[in-house]
Amino acid sequence: MQVFEYRPPALPWLDIRYLDRDIIIINKPSGLLSNPGRAAVTHDCALTRLQRLYPETILVHRLDCATSGIMVFARNKAAESSLKTQFQERQSDKLYVAEVAGHLEQPAGVIDLPLAADKANPPLQQVSEQGKRAVTHYKVLEQREDSSLVALQPETGRTHQLRVHMLALGHPILGDDFYGGCEIENARPRLCLHAASLAFCHPYSGAEMHFVSLSPF
């Protein structure tokens, strides 16, 4: 794993896909933090970029810095509460696309492995019987020469869940500089994990909302 150097992409500065009085939907690029970290250099992130235009913007959920794709932000406390409740009670529907090493034996399946923090190597996570329950549904979309494109649907929302689950299955996500080792890390210029679809109910109207971002790999 390389030492983290934060160099957020400047183009596009913001890719806003939808905006109303309650919510903002963006397509976050790989390499941009969802929210600020402790270091001053991490102040530039999706949240602070939005707050320059809409100061009331509130973070609802996160994507890993290296993960790209659809994110929703709230513009008031009522919307924040509604969206967070939907995420916590699994009333929202998230779908990711990943390119992983090798060919999976089964075209579809469920990974049910508990996860816990790797205290010796923060912020890494690991499969642990003492961890919290973590469930991921997967489906092979395409087999390539030495990799596979898979759809990943997390039933739970543990830190690095998709990355650790695919590693445990023996098919790490290509470009993963946390869990993949040198060969996997150097296989692609970025982590091949993308939040391709997000569905939830609008916090004010209750209407079903569905946003999609095409996979970049």
Spot the catalytic one: 22, 64, 118, 177: 64
- For residue 215, being part of any structural domain is answered with no
Cα separations in angstroms, 55 against 3, 14, 17, 59, 167: 32, 15, 18, 12, 39
- For residue 170, being part of any structural domain is answered with yes
Is residue 165 within 8 A of residue 111, CB to CB? The reply is yes
Is the per-residue pLDDT at 216 higher than 60? yes
Rounded to the nearest integer, the mean pLDDT of the chain is 96
Is the per-residue pLDDT at 4 higher than 70? no
Is the per-residue pLDDT at 28 higher than 90? yes
Is the per-residue pLDDT at 3 higher than 90? no
- For residue 149, being part of any structural domain is answered with yes
Question: How many percent of the chain have pLDDT more than 90?
Answer: 95
What would the pLDDT profile of 98-113 be if each residue is shown by its tens digit?
999 999 999 999 999 9
pLDDT at 1: 47
What would the pLDDT profile of 69-78 be if each residue is shown by its tens digit?
999 999 999 9
pLDDT at 2: 47
- For residue 155, being part of any structural domain is answered with yes
User: Residue 123's domain spans which residues?
Assistant: 96-193
Count up the domains in the chain and report the number: 1
- For residue 101, being part of any structural domain is answered with yes
Cα separation, 135 vs 132, in Å, equals: 10
The answer to whether 64 is a known catalytic residue is yes
- For residue 207, being part of any structural domain is answered with no
Question: How many percent of the chain have pLDDT more than 70?
Answer: 98
Q: In three state form, how does the secondary structure of the chain look?
A: CCCCCCCCCCCCCCCEEEECCCEEEEEECCCCCCCCCCCHHHHCCHHHHHHHHCCCCEECCCCCCCCEEEEEEECCHHHHHHHHHHHHCCCCEEEEEEEEECCCCCCEEEEECCEEECCCCCCCEEECCCCECCEEEEEEEEECCCEEEEEEEECCCCCCHHHHHHHHCCCCECCCCCCCHHHHHCCCCCCCEEEEEEEEECCCCCCEEEEECCCCC
- For residue 134, being part of any structural domain is answered with yes
Is the per-residue pLDDT at 124 higher than 80? yes
Q: What CATH number does residue 181 fall under? A: 3.30.2350.10
